[in-house]
């Protein structure tokens, strides 16, 4: 499907036509066996693999990401996710037997059945991976799907449509291209389930649209993900981790560390370590290697981030590392700010760029209280050698997920659920949890016939 070469009326008619086809076909798809679903997923996997170079070229054109990052996030991760499903789908689809509590000779079970016709709305930071990952889970669960990638990545959108068309009939999976008006038109339809990855602001719009039809939702959002560095932690390792995290996709990841708490006497070592690692990873002869870091996705987001940076500096923040924002090609050098305070906008809004504010604390309770008083983040990072302190932080805070003594690991482990909580999201996916996200747990009770 394309939205860019049609009138608004034609787009609306095309959306209605495909939606009607999928509504009519959903019962056939729901009844498919594990073997039939595995065949579809194998075709999808093979199509992604065969179009790998085309995917890399498209994402590079849209985002200027480093090619190795694109291969991992937009190709290898998709292939790995599909293979995990292929290896486990038979077990996941088996009914869960439950022993009846009153009549033991009766039978009870939980059946995982398809939700129906699903809408998957993707973001711009990982434009293919964060659409095809959920798609694989939805197909595994026996659903029909409509996909809408972001219009900020038009080249990737075209490749996605080409791949989907080569694997699926449109009465099962279809892609619609176009701007936000296409997404708005899709949200008017009574989908059974909506899976959205993006900002909290747009997540509220999606949830309001779903409420009109009582559709279930999975919302993968964001928020300000904190890092707590406990006394005695390995600051050199932490500095390297944070420099790498902020370089990855130019800091444009929903689980990227958004601010840091460190003891005052460790701050200078953290800053120096961050600077040294950025210099090592990203500079050559004093100049940044721009092929090594993604640019900010568009001018609007660059202006937003620059506004946060300028506001912090105007209010007294110190540029401890980096601080170069190149408007002509939307490149932001990895930056660390110190002497920040909660009144600064940069500590109130998700940054989504390679800028990292650093706050200091006197005792652990201060850092914990700060996090408790704010919206629940998508990720929380704790660096500590003290198990009691780690447990205290876990007990006193809430977040979508946690990685201790590292970054991103709770996301990368596909045997763990990934998702947010309240302002950072609703529901979870990855692996088995993705299959469950696109499934309804149906209770079945069977009375045994008297002999």
Is 220 marked active-site? yes
Give the whole-angstrom CA distance, residue 238 versus residue 385.
13
Give the whole-angstrom CA distance, residue 437 versus residue 447.
29
Nearest to 296 by CA among 259, 267, 253, 255: 253
Is 413 marked active-site? no
Give the whole-angstrom CA distance, residue 188 versus residue 190.
7
Q: Which helix (H) or strand (E) holds 83?
A: helix 77-93
Give the whole-angstrom CA distance, residue 123 versus residue 149.
7
Give the whole-angstrom CA distance, residue 419 versus residue 272.
33
Express the helix, strand and coil content of the chain in percent, nearest 5 each.
50, 20, 30
Out of 144, 254, 256, 350, the active site residue is: 254
Give the whole-angstrom CA distance, residue 122 versus residue 62.
15
Query: Which stretches of 94-230 are assigned E, i.e. beta strand?
Result: 96-98, 107-114, 117-121, 144-148, 173-175, 193-197, 216-220, 225-229
Contacts of 274 (CB under 8 A, 6+ apart): 239, 242, 243, 321, 334, 336, 356
Out of 74, 170, 177, 220, the active site residue is: 220
Positions marked catalytic: 220, 254
């Amino acid at each position: 499907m394309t939205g860019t070469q049609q009138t608004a009326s034609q787009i609306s008619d095309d959306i209605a036509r495909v939606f009607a086809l999928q509504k009519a076909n959903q019962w056939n798809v729901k009844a498919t066996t594990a073997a039939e679903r595995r065949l579809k997923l194998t075709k999808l996997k093979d199509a992604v693999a065969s179009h790998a170079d085309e995917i890399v070229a498209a994402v590079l054109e849209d985002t200027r990401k480093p090619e190795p990052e694109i291969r991992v996030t937009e190709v290898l991760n998709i292939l790995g996710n599909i293979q995990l499903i292929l290896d486990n789908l038979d077990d996941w689809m088996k009914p869960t037997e439950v022993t009846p509590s009153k009549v033991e000779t009766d039978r009870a079970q939980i059946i995982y059945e398809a939700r129906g016709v699903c809408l998957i709305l993707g973001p711009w930071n990982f434009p293919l991976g964060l659409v095809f990952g959920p798609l694989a889970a939805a197909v595994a669960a026996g659903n029909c799907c409509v996909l809408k990638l972001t219009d900020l990545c038009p080249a990737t959108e075209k490749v996605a449509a080409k791949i989907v068309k080569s694997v699926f009939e449109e009465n099962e999976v279809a892609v619609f291209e176009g701007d936000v008006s296409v997404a708005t038109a899709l949200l008017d339809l009574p989908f059974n389930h909506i899976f959205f990855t993006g900002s909290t602001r747009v997540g509220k719009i999606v949830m309001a649209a779903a409420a009109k039809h009582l559709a279930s939702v999975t919302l993968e959002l964001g928020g300000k993900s904190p890092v707590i560095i406990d006394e005695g932690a390995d600051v050199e390792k932490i500095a390297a981790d944070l420099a790498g995290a902020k370089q990855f996709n130019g800091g444009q990841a929903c689980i990227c560390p958004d601010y840091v708490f460190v003891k005052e006497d460790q701050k200078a070592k953290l800053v120096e370590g961050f600077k040294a690692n950025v210099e090592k990873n990203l500079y050559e002869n004093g100049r940044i290697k721009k092929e090594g870091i993604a640019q900010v996705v568009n001018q609007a987001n660059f202006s937003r981030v620059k506004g946060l940076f300028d506001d912090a500096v105007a209010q007294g923040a110190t540029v401890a590392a980096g601080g170069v924002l190149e408007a002509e090609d939307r490149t932001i050098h990895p930056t660390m700010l110190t002497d920040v305070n909660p009144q600064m906008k940069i500590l109130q809004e998700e940054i989504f760029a390679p800028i990292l504010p650093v706050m200091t604390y006197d005792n652990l309770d201060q850092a914990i209280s700060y996090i408790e008083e704010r919206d629940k983040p998508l990720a929380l990072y704790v660096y500590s050698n003290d198990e009691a302190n780690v447990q205290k932080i876990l007990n006193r805070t809430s977040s979508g997920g946690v990685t201790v003594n590292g970054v991103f690991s709770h996301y990368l482990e596909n045997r763990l659920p990934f998702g947010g909580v309240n302002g950072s999201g609703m529901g979870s996916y990855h692996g088995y949890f993705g299959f469950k996200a696109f499934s309804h747990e149906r209770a079945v009770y069977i009375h045994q016939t008297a002999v």
